[in-house]
Amino acid sequence: MGRQTLSKREIKDLIPTLSFVTVSPKQKVEIVTEDKCTILYIDDKPIFFQFEERWLPILRVIISGEVSVPYKKVTVDMGAIKFVANGADIMRPGIAQIEDGISSGDPVLIVDETHGKTLALGVAMLSSEEMRAASSGKVIKNAHAAGDVLWELTK
């Protein structure tokens, strides 16, 4: 496990890359690398993780409401839930509903069809329109799911 406390200068440089959270150079900010996961802690609380060179909020802080995100939602059918929970990318046949306004590369919340509970956070590989037009294949990369390694590390 690697742990690095950021200097005030490093925090100032990092602030523009973080969304949805106000960070001050006076706060304790650490980057922790553990089990191939890079996690950003703010005042000893895991808030962000690194995925494909960008910082995304940890699922626990989204679900708890500590961080409010404007991400669009993609609803998966009940047959897809176990695959999503195991970290599988989201395949077009498992999607029941797609919100408008998604662009390729946008973070999206993956929710279940029955209860609307957030299961995972992913990154769209296609726009809303392209997803709807597709009949098969991967359409969303699963970045972080409830129950994955990152979920367990941030208990």
- Report the predicted TM-score, pTM, of the whole model to 2 decimal places: 0.94
Q: Is the CB of residue 110 less than 8 Å from the CB of residue 120?
A: yes
| Average pLDDT along the chain | 95
Q: How confident is the model at residue 152, as a pLDDT?
A: 94
For 54, the token pair is: 């960008």
pLDDT > 90? residue 27:
yes
- What are 56-110's pLDDT values in tens digits? 999 999 999 999 999 999 999 999 999 999 999 999 999 999 999 999 999 999 9
- Candidates 153, 84, 58, 143; CA nearest to 108 is 143
Those residues whose C-beta lies under 8 Å from the C-beta of residue 19, and which sit 6 or more positions away, are: 55, 57, 69
Domains and CATH numbers, the chain: 2-65 (3.10.450.120), 72-151 (2.30.130.10)
Phi, psi of 101 (to 5 degrees): 90, 10
Dist CA 106 CA 90 (whole Å): 14
